[in-house]
Structure 1
Amino acid sequence: MQSFRTELENPVVERDIIELEKKIRLFREGQIPEEKFRSLRLARGIYGQRQPGVQMIRIKLPYGKMTLEQWKRISDVSDEFSTGNLHLTTRQDVQIHFVSLDRTPELWSKLDLDDITIREACGNTVRNITASDRAGIDPQEPFDVTPYADATFRYFLRNPICQDMGRKIKMSFSSSDADTAWSFMHDMGAIPKVRIVNGEEVRGFKVLVGGGLGAQPYLAHVAHEFLEADQLIPYIESVLRVFDRHGERASRHKARMKFLVQKLGFEEFSRLVAEERIANKVKSYPIDAEAWPDVELPAADVTLPAYTIKDAQKYEAWKATNAFRQRQADYYAAYVRVPLGNISSVISRQLVEALRPAVANDVRVTANQGLLLKYIQPAHLPYVFSVLETAGFAEPGFDSIADITACPGTDTCNLAISSSTGISTALELVIAEEFPDLVYNKDIKIKISGCMNSCGQHGIASIGFHGSSLKSGGKVLPALQVLLGGGIVGDGVGRVADKVIKVPSKRGPDVLRTLLRDYEANAQQHEKFNEYYDRQGEKYFYDLLKPLTDLGTLEDEDFVDWGQGDKFATAIGVGECASVVIDLVATLLFEGEEKLQSGKIALDEKQYADGIYHSYSTFVQTAKALLLGEGVSCNTQTGIINDFDKHFVETGKWPLDGSFKTLVLQINQNEPSESFAKEYYQQAADFYQQAHAFRNQAAAVTAQ
């Protein structure tokens, strides 16, 4: 590949980009194993697609925020490196597809010109931190969570404690008890609370831990009903340390936080978290929310360009369903429905320029794949609608039953079983043509995923679908698993949808028609859908939909998935949501050496807590290499530490005064002082050198 260099204002980012280019070159030359390289590129937001030879790039937008300049920059980058499409995700990211691996360093450098990162957007890291899109303008919020979400994002970006965990970590900040960021389904979730102490208002958070969707959904545990705001980041750090040390690493299907909490029990998990506090970089992390920069507002006396509204009736529906008055009483905010989360770079630039005079320089990507425009003067709402109408993005019914959330499915994802985008389009058509009044219904949510992993959040939908397959007459056909009854209760309480029945995918529209007609006919006055579901019970809906499962009436089209021309066949690739376990001894020793080098850099820069954690990682990676050399495989860092004592120290293979466990776990027995950091680093360096000598000696004996 051609060497690429850039001069960026941020030397940390520049070092990252140059390192990425170097690793790509070494991978191309065959000097880095493919599985190891996969882990490295994922942590840089570079994700393999279903189509070979190209990458999906995930752009990390903390709490979904884009300035207008960033939106334009992403559009320009998509044109130059991708296909000119921006895909908005349920994690408030933006993804672009079909990117050449060799061009990713240059792509990253172009994004950084407007302070946009792809670092840790994928892989076994702290993923994008999401938040209620209304944060800062929510009439129900006790305070704006944006500064706290932002501080959390910045604190854990490049933090050594979360660079190579057993699995990914997802966090959310809700703006109020309405819990619109779904704290109950995250590894960690925070809901703002206020208490009065000695006549003073004290900010804090209700903190939840261990939630998750996927094939086995779990609702999160309440860790703190009220944790003072300055204690939030130290608590998160302690949790991540426990997850890194005790979390599963061999089986990715059991490696999420929810499984560790289940395995240990929440009481023991909490005890281990408390043990880690002494090792934390900080014991208190106050955030000066009052110093948070003001939003750049549109000029109060701006003169807008001339405009016309083509459909006045649609404008009234749009205003009723997509706009709301902010807690700042003089302003409105307006949502933009983005079908399937896809918006072109051309339309994006058109919107940026046309909207600039009328909206704040703070656009939020929403968790249902739309956009939120803020600080619109009431008199400017018609103009904003006209701009959206001209661009083809003025449909009413944001976050209604008509606004379906769907992952990309088989369009690009390796794990997808059947199409989610095709069925989503078909279901939206059913609502538009047969149930048009439901555009005002924001009670019922429809969410679709291409597989059981719930990237489309089907597990918390009122009506959810995930891709599957069925067999009939020796042939395979695309299918949909139907789930009902999921959603938000509030204040950290959620509902996981029930798996009710599986039907051929082409019958998805009939499923929706049947459910909605039954609800319209039999629901009591003002009875919400989930209330109706609870009253009737799962068996009622199974019987209601059972006729649609009859495989004796299949037609040829039932064997072709939505939007496809060929007969259906399951073609699931290797998922890349986490790195694969590396069992090459030399590679692990090399990683140990890299951790040691990172530790030295951190000490030189007086970042003692970071240096200590790099030293800890050196111990673990090096011990793992030696154990694998003896044929011993471990699935947790704790297991590695214990097994090293068992197979090396206790057998006399490794002379050590005391146990390896005692040596390594000094990390959570000491404050991160300069003296301990330097002493611990030297012990790790000595251990690595001894390991290198041990391996060389073993190789020499084998050669004889």
Structure 2
Amino acid sequence: MIEKRGLSQLEQDKLNIDPDFDFKDIAAKPFSDLTTNQIGMFKWTGIYHQLQPGYFMMRLRIAGGLITAAKLKVVADIAERYGQGELCITTRQCLQFHFLQKDDLHLVIDELAAVGITSKNACGDVVRNVTSCPLQGVCKHEIGDVRSVIETIDADKEFLDEQRNLSRKHKINVSGCGAACGLQLINCQSWVPCEREIKGIAVRGWQYFAGGGLGRNPYLAQWIFSWVPEKLVTAITSAAVEIHRLHGDRTTRSLGRLKIIVARFGHQAFALELIRIMRERKVADLDELEIAPQATPKIPPMPFAGESVVPQRQEDLSTVRVMIRRSEISATEAIQFATWAEQFGSAEIIFTARQNLQIRNVPDTKVAELVKLITSAGYRMQGHDYLPDIVACVGTTLCNLAVSDTPNSYRQVIDAFADDVDFWSDIGPLRIHMNGCPNSCAQHWIADIGLRGTREMQKNGSEEGFSIFVGGAVEGSGHIAEHVVDVSSKAVVPIMKQLLDLYLKDRNNGAEHFGVYARRVGVKYLRENLDLDLDVTNVQQVNQDLTAVFANVIKEAKP
């Protein structure tokens, strides 16, 4: 008989600690009275304890990344008064505050609630915010308008209030069309609209994918249903969450994601398990479902690359895309963008999975004026989906888990390449993702060039560095990036330059995409053609020099 292992400590905490804290009571307690276990459960309210003792990060839930200008101004005002005037855009299209203090948490929560914004279930072992492609509702390729489906799933009371004790986090995506923009292969559940003719009428239905997820051990989603009537979307979504609750591993957290369950079942058996649960729930019309003929999907490539202004399906309107440097935006900047959205668009802004933002519904007659204002203010608009459009996590500056200073390496790469327009234009579309630890918040597994934080052992300790991966893809059947080499942080720029020079020299027909090239030639070829004997500045001394800088930042934090 197999020995039954006990629950992990966190699973015990989830049974014994109510995650719905009264943060007014928390404010009245000394920080020293809070247990590590209690602070860990703050995540169910979207709150993490930062690397800096006594300071907290709070993540907001923003369904599909869409927010009104009025709400963004409120968020910016809160950031100014409680969060050192800074906001961060996440890869799940949300915003984060940093440097919040314990005694202010309840004030922030109440002020957000007053305008209909919540941080509930933004973190923790729950159903997180629903993500979508950034052009939802305005894209010429979108099949119908998917916004209502996004909002229905995101606001579902079962997910918000009842299914709050899953074995791990649960992520859902709703795409606007079949293309890879929605990142459907990396989510626990993904919905992709499709059309067919029924009795002479074009009817929208959905394809359904499940079992994607990155983290330390990445999995790509499997194709589960090739046709789902729209009336069954919520029922299937709910059934999949229930499967996660029932079958998730609660003894080993690395095995607790839905991706493990789907991989164990296989696509057909998982589809049948969904149907079984829905039958138990008396869901009607299940005979209209069509199980996918195979598990491996074929995802069309993204239809956009490089455009700073995208014509919408609405006549004479466009979406203006703006790159945000390393996802960081000040409260003042947020208010400025909100004001521009009011003056030039429909008073809406959408945050993207590449940690950028877009102003929607701008009349074509006003686009040039808005673009001039944005570029004059110092924001980059050229290079979307190219080398300058880098995704990066917060790294060791704020995160307890990071082992490498992602922001510093990000700045080095941007400073080295972003202004060389001829160079990155010649390279073509290129997705670079930089992650400070193995957890893949910045999604390095799906990047053309992905960096994952690591430590390089030295004679007198260790030096921070990165593992470099290449060839990730979210189109076609998808591909997990493969490891090329580990380098110290000081070698990131020269090694990246070597990789790109090899690509420019070896690519087929002068037009082969970098990811396709990397998968064709293989990591062994790339590794053998890199010069790793580099003469660069000692990064350990740089880190020692920065220690005093970081200490001063913490000292000057608002009381």
Q: TM-score, normalised by structure 1?
A: 0.69
Task: Return the match for 1:393 from 372, 379, 385.
Answer: 379
Aligned with 1:543 (options 524, 528, 533): 528
Aligned-partner residue type, residue 559 of structure 1: Q
Q: Which AA in structure 2 matches 1:348?
A: A
Contact 1:404–1:446, Cα closer than 8 Å, also in 2: yes
Paired position in structure 2 for 1:664: none
Q: Alignment partner of 2:408: what SS?
A: helix
The answer to whether the 8 Å contact 1:238/1:280 transfers is: no
User: Hey, what's the Cα distance between the residues in 1 that align with 2:149 and 2:169?
Assistant: 21
Contact 2:28–2:103 (CA<8 Å) still a contact in 1?
A: no
Distance 1:22 1:80, change over 3 A: closer
Residue 350 in structure 1 maps to residue 339 in structure 2: no
Q: 1:410 to 1:166 in 2, by over 3 A?
A: same
Q: Does residue 1:379 correspond to 2:380, yes or no? A: no
**AA aligned opposite 1:531:** V
Q: 2 CA distance for matches of 1:424 and 1:414? A: 19
Partner of 1:247: 248
SS at match of 2:504: helix
Residue type of the alignment partner of 2:331: S
- On the 8 A contact 1:459/1:497 being kept in 2, the answer is yes
Which residue, 300, 310, 314 being the options, matches 1:328?
314
Decide which moves more: 210-219 or 264-273: 264-273
In structure 2, how many angstroms separate the alpha carbons of the residues matched to 1:169 and 1:565? 37
How far off its partner does 1:320 sit?
7.1
Please show how residues 442-521 of structure 1 align to structure 2 within 5 Å.
443-490=429-476, 493-521=477-505
Give the 3-state SS of the residue equivalent to 1:356 in structure 2: helix
User: Does 365-374 or 161-170 show the bigger shift?
Assistant: 161-170
Could you tell me how far 1:272 is from its partner in structure 2?
3.1
Please name the residue that 2:300 is paired with.
Answer: none
What is the CA-CA distance between 1:527 and the residue it aligns to? 1.4
Pick the aligned partner of 2:540 from 541, 559, 563. 559
What is the alpha-carbon root mean square deviation over aligned residues?
Answer: 2.7
| 1:699 corresponding residue in structure 2 | none
Partner of 1:35: 37
Shift of 1:439: 4.9
Tell which deviates more after alignment, 22-31 or 79-88. Answer: 22-31
1: CA distance between counterparts of 2:421 and 2:306?
18
Local SS of the residue matching 2:484: strand
Secondary structure of the residue aligned to 2:538 is: helix
Q: Distance in 2 between the 1:320 and 1:247 partners? A: 41
Q: How far did residue 362 of structure 1 move?
A: 1.8
Q: What CA distance in whole angstroms lies between the structure 2 residues aligned with 1:320 and 1:211?
A: 27
Residue 131 (structure 1) aligned with residue 132 (structure 2): yes
Deviations 1:449-499 (A, max 9, x none): 101111111100001111101112232111110100012224xx3221111
Amino acid at match of 2:112: L
Residues 112-150 of structure 1 deviation map (CA, whole Å, 9 limit, x = unaligned):
222111110010111111000101111111222111111
Question: Residue 235 in 1 paired to residue 236 in 2?
Answer: yes
Corresponding residue of 1:637: none
The residue aligned with 1:671 is none
Q: For 1:523-602, what aligned pairs fall within 5 Å after superposition?
A: 523-525=507-509, 526-545=511-530, 547-548=531-532, 550=533, 557-560=538-541, 565-566=546-547
Structure 2 residue identity aligned to 1:218: Y
| 1:610-653, Cα deviation, whole Å (9 max, x unpaired) | xxxxxxxxxxxxxxxxxxxxxxxxxxxxxxxxxxxxxxxxxxxx
Q: Give yes or no for contact 1:17–1:105 (8 Å, CA) kept in 2.
A: no
State whether residues 120 and 157 of structure 1, in contact with CA within 8 Å, keep that contact through their aligned partners in structure 2: no
Residues 28 and 260 of structure 1: CA distance in aligned 2, closer, same or farther (over 3 Å)? farther
Q: Is the contact between residue 167 and residue 256 of structure 2 (CA under 8 Å) also seen in structure 1?
A: yes
Distance 2:160 2:82 in 1: 29
- Cα separation, partners in 2 of 1:166 and 1:563, compared to 1, 3 Å: farther
Q: What percentage of aligned pairs have identical amino acids?
A: 26
The gaps in structure 2 that reach 5 residues or longer are: 1-17, 287-304, 549-559
Please report how far the alpha carbon of residue 279 of structure 1 lies from its aligned counterpart in structure 2 after TM superposition.
4.9
C-alpha distance 355-269 of structure 1, shift in aligned 2 (>3 A):
closer
Match of 2:22 in 1: 20
Could you tell me which residue of structure 1 aligns to residue 345 of structure 2?
A: 359
C-alpha separation in 2, matches of 1:538 and 1:190? 33
Cα distance in 1, alignment partners of residues 543 and 34 from structure 2:
40
Q: How far 1:386 moved relative to its partner?
A: 2.4
Greater helix proportion = 1
SS in 2 for 1:180: helix
1:147 equivalenced with 2:148 (yes/no): yes
Q: Name the aligned partner's letter for residue 24 of structure 1.
A: I
Query: In structure 2, what is the equivalent of residue 113 of structure 1?
Result: 114
Shift of 1:532: 1.7
Quick check: 1:418–1:451 contact (8 Å CA) kept in 2? yes
How far apart are the structure 1 equivalents of 2:512 and 2:33? 63
CA contact (8 A) 2:46 2:58 kept: yes
CA separation of 1:562 and 1:260: change in aligned 2, threshold 3 A: farther
Aligned amino acid, residue 361 of structure 1: A
Match of 2:46 in 1: 45
Matches of 2:282 and 2:100 in 1, distance apart? 38
Match of 1:417 in 2: 403
1:383 is displaced (CA, Å) by 1.3
Give the direction of change, closer, same or farther, for the CA distance of 1:561–1:93 in structure 2 (3 Å limit). Answer: farther
For 2:180, what is the secondary structure of its paired residue?
coil
Equivalent pair of 2:435/2:441 in contact (CA under 8 Å): yes
Residue 392 of structure 1 and its aligned partner are, at CA, apart by: 2.0
Instruction: Kindly report which structure 2 residues correspond to 1:677-692, keeping only aligned pairs within 5 A, or say none.
Output: none
Aligned match of 1:676: none
Structure 1: runs of 5 or more not aligned: 1-15, 286-318, 568-704
Partner amino acid, structure 1, of 2:108: L
Change (3 A) 1:158 1:213: closer
2:506 maps to which of 508, 522, 538: 522
Contact conserved, 1:234 with 1:280, CA < 8 A, in 2? no
Equivalence map 1:163-178=2 (5 Å): 163-178=164-179
CA distance, structure 2, for counterparts of residue 360 and residue 500 of structure 1:
46
Structure 2 distance, partners of 1:562, 1:404, is 23
Aligned to 1:101: 102
> 503-512 or 555-564: which moved more?
555-564
Query: Displacement of 1:324 after TM fit?
Result: 1.5
Answer whether contact 2:134 2:350 (CA < 8 A) is retained. yes
Deviation at 1:417, TM superposition (A): 0.9
Summarize the Cα distance change of 1:277–1:18 in structure 2 as closer, same or farther, 3 Å threshold.
closer
Aligned CA distance change for structure 1 residues 155 and 497 (closer, same or farther; 3 Å)? same
Q: Residues 307-358 of structure 1: CA distance to partner in whole angstroms, max 9, x if unpaired?
A: xxxxxxxxxxxx9731111112311111010011111111221232244221
Contact 1:481 1:503 in 2 (8 A): yes
Contact 1:322 1:398 in 2 (8 A): yes
Name the structure 2 match of 1:78.
Answer: 79
Cross-structure match for 1:432: 418
Give the Å deviation of 1:110. Answer: 0.8
Whether contact under 8 Å (2:19, 2:45) holds in the other structure is no
* Whole-Å separation in 1 of the counterparts to 2:114 and 2:319: 28
**Distance of 1:165 and 1:478 partners within structure 2:** 34
In the TM superposition, residue 390 of structure 1 has moved relative to its aligned partner by 3.6
